[in-house]
A and B are shown apart, each in its own frame.
Chain A
Amino acid sequence: ETGVTQSPTHLIKTRGQQVTLRCSSQSGHNTVSWYQQALGQGPQFIFQYYREEENGRGNFPPRFSGLQFPNYSSELNVNALELDDSALYLCASSPRVQTGGNNSPLHFGNGTRLTVT
């Protein structure tokens, strides 16, 4: 069973630039979520993708956008980078998340550490 893989592991960008982070979901999982984790904080939900469509979004501006591909892999794009975007970006996959009832745990990749200077 292949786990969640993310690339790159580390990235340094300059304020105002754009960045693309990539994620391959765990085999058998069709839902991908992205989280931002600032130092000393818990992960914050950015958005979730299911069947190549955004399926829920947290409190992040439109310059955070994403894609999901037919093989369930996903990208997170961030435009016009700001210093506060420096964080660990986590991709997590899961089987389909249902409203109500019991939901399966998220399985996280190793994350991408983004530093904006």
Chain B
Amino acid sequence: QKEVEQNSGPLSVPEGAIASLNCTYSDRGSQSFFWYRQYSGKSPELIMFIYSNGDKEDGRFTAQLNKASQYVSLLIRDSQPSDSATYLCAVIGLSGTYKYIFGTGTRLKVLA
């Protein structure tokens, strides 16, 4: 079992729709969760982070965390073609190695 799992996609949604990206993790002790966006050939840029169970909203983005089920999701409302990118989920746990563990990313395509 991979430490952080994401569906590689591509996930295609029409412009204006809600895109839902999901991520599951294996370390039950994980405390901090991050979503990064990565355009092709570029470095990851932070979208959101979440620490507590529940929802956290920032503009068009909402992160959802469920520690009991060990999943974290990212919702993008009113999706735009400029949102087309790979979305990386990252987790840091209690293992003490200080490493942020990334999933392989989900490729999102927003169709105009």
Which residues on B sit within 8 Å (CB–CB) of A45?
97, 99-101
Question: Which B residues from 12 to 44 make CB contacts under 8 A with A?
Answer: 31-32, 34, 36, 42-44
Question: Which B residues from 78 to 112 make CB contacts under 8 A with A?
Answer: 88, 90, 92, 94, 96-105
Which residues on B sit within 8 Å (CB–CB) of A111?
42-43
Q: How many residues of chain A have a CB within 8 Å of chain B?
A: 29
Which residues on B sit within 8 Å (CB–CB) of A35?
102
Interface string of A27-67 (1 = CB under 8 A from B): 00000010100001111110010000001111000000000
Q: Which residue of B lies closest to A97 (CB)?
A: B98
A99 touches B94 (CB 8 A): yes
Q: Which residue of B4, B46, B99, B104 has the most chain A CB atoms within 10 A of its CB atom?
A: B99
Which residues on B sit within 8 Å (CB–CB) of A43?
44, 88, 102
B43 touches A109 (CB 8 A): yes
CB of A102 closer than 8 Å to a CB of B = yes
Given the known inter-chain contacts A42-B103, A99-B98, please indicate yes or no for A105 contacting B34, CB distance below 8 A. Answer: yes
B102 touches A100 (CB 8 A): no
Q: Which residue of B lies closest to A31 (CB)?
A: B98
A34 → B minimal CB distance (Å): 11
A103 touches B32 (CB 8 A): yes
Q: Which residue of B lies closest to A92 (CB)?
A: B100
Interface string of B36-70 (1 = CB under 8 A from A): 10000011111001010000000000000000000
A81 → B minimal CB distance (Å): 22
A58 touches B104 (CB 8 A): no
CB of A108 closer than 8 Å to a CB of B = yes
CB of A115 closer than 8 Å to a CB of B = no
B94 touches A58 (CB 8 A): no
Which residues on A sit within 8 Å (CB–CB) of B104?
40-42
**Given A33-B100, A42-B102, A103-B92: 12 more A-B contacts, CB < 8 Å:** A42-B88, A42-B104, A43-B88, A45-B97, A58-B99, A101-B31, A102-B51, A105-B34, A106-B90, A106-B100, A107-B46, A110-B43
